[in-house]
Amino acid sequence: MDNTGTTGFEITPIDFSQPAKTNKPEPAKPKQKRSTNIKRRHQNTYRRAFSETQLLDICDLPFQDGDSYHFITGGDVDGLSYLKIVLRQQDLDYCLFSTWCMAAEDVYQFEDWLKAGKIKKCDAYVGEIFPGTYRLEYAKLKPLIEAYGGRIAVFRNHSKIFAGYGDKFAFGIETSANINTNPRTENGCITIDRKLFEFYKSYFDGIVSFDK
């Protein structure tokens, strides 16, 4: 130590204002969307039906863009009953459907529509039980959908949706009913809206199928 009371060593100050360098983690891989929503506000119409024929008869046709039609049903009404209402008014350039399960006669109905040109292209989204529990139906549905340029996706699915468009309007159908017929009380809604169609199309396009 010298006479000034210092050690004689030069001390360099440390600048703590700079962030410490760290190894950047690898960017996370994008995850498949699990939940999403859309907000809309238009006119609503409410109806009750207890048979498919009655369901067809109580709709105010032709549908108007922006309107929603809400139903509570019982008896001979299933998911396809709602799609038939749309097909009464126009052929479809595209349609997607999502269901947990469906019966063989429903697959044959889609085959009739595709062959007749009522639906030109269709994508199908089914529940994870479908290939194993409904083997014959799946074996028929998969090549049928693919023959007309569509795709079939299997995933953890319990949604019941139709969405599509034709020359007159685009639409979305939301229902508690699977495609196969059952006598239970179910609810459904038909909405005439391009944005709703695009909302569902965008979501289901992002589904990664269990079945490659």
149 or 211: whose pLDDT is higher? 149
In the chain, what are the domain boundaries? Answer: 44-205
pLDDT at 197 over 90: yes
pLDDT, tens only, 61-90: 888 899 999 988 877 778 888 899 999 999
| Window from 43-47, 76-80, 139-143 with minimum mean pLDDT | 43-47
* 205 φψ region: left (φ > 0), alpha (ψ -120 to 50), beta (else): alpha
Average of pLDDT values for 22-46?
54
Average pLDDT over residues 124-142: 95
Question: Under CATH, to which class is 44-205 assigned?
Answer: alpha beta
Instruction: Average the pLDDT over 139-165 and give the result.
Output: 97
Q: In whole angstroms, what separates CA 200 from the centre of its chain?
A: 4
- pLDDT band (50, 70, 90) for residue 17: low
